[in-house]
A = this chain, B = another copy of it.
Amino acid sequence: MSRIEMAHGAGGKAMQRLLEQVVIPSFGLRKIGTIGLDEMDDGATLEVDGQHLIVTTDAHTVQPLFFPGGDIGKLTACGTLNDVAVMGARPVAMTNTVIVEEGFEIETLKTILHSLNAVIEPLGVAMIAGDTKVMPRGTLDGLVMSSTGIGVVYLDRPVADSGARPGDDIIVTGPIGDHGTALLAHREGLKFQTDLVSDVAPLWEPIRDCLDVGGVHAMKDPTRGGTAVALNEIASKSKVEIELEESRIPVRTAVRSLCDVLGLDPLHISCEGTAVMAVQSSETDRILDALRHHNITKNATVIGSAKEAKTARVTMRTDIGGRKVIQVPTGEPVPRVC
């Protein structure tokens, strides 16, 4: 490994290696709170004078900038706020930098920023700081953005990836793989799939209602690398085995068809408005009920459970009765998905 490959940014094993071998060892790993860079959670905690904040950051390089169901502005807002929300924190503020290519249409930039604001303003999230840089024509493909989200822990402590316990139910808040397949189909001009639309949406309100119920032990939003990566992270950090039932995993017909045609696994495809949760089984019904009150999580369902195991891993009982291990993919199969 001497040069950056596409897989290094794709959320799977290659990225994990780059983070573990290059990025994380570069820093002193001082923490201000319990969760820092080396936990590789969705965000970090920042404890200053007893105040418990959550800070997350993301770069956004999605291509194309406009896709079925959203654009880079909406994606930036949702990606940022969802990372805060799955840490069990109420998003309160964000910052955003824009790097744009010389010659870019200013009206398009406006549309993107309005789209970002349309997500954050109704949630009461303040855009508090920004920066704009221009790169000469030909040195950047259009526009990229980087954002930081800041939230206030909603209950007494954050929801960490490491919180799942044996006996927990595993919930997914909606069908998986919509975002990655919608982008792929749109990009490749696969016109036969007309109903593939990204799920990009802000999850704070449904998540808040789940936190109000109680019993949410671990939570992630599966983006790059998909549900397989999100569940493997929960399993390995919580030291449990997560056992899935293939028949219970919600996948839209169009998503399944496209994956079948291209030889992709829906578990490896990114979502941008869906979360997975490990929840206390006694609260499962009330949590599902809370989720089903919100349009974007109305198809929430239990897809498996966590159990004690010697080896932390994710397994799946398949439709034909077998059992297989769900691996972390080398990388997200669809590049520049977020």
Contacts and interface: CB of A to CB of B under 8 A. Distances in A.
Contacts of A209: none
Tallying the copies of this chain within the complex gives 2
Contacts of A102: 3-6
Contacts of A58: 97, 131
Interface string A104-122: 1111011001101100110
A188 to B, nearest CB: 15
Nearest to A33: B128
A166 B212 CA distance: 54
Interface residues of A, number: 86
A44 interface: yes
Interface stretch (A146-154, A172-180, A225-233): A146-154
Interface string A3-20: 111111110000100110
Contacts of A136: 6, 335-336
A325 interface: no
A134 B1 contact: no
A241 B335 CA distance: 53
A57 interface: yes
A268 to B, nearest CB: 17
Contacts of A97: 57-59, 146
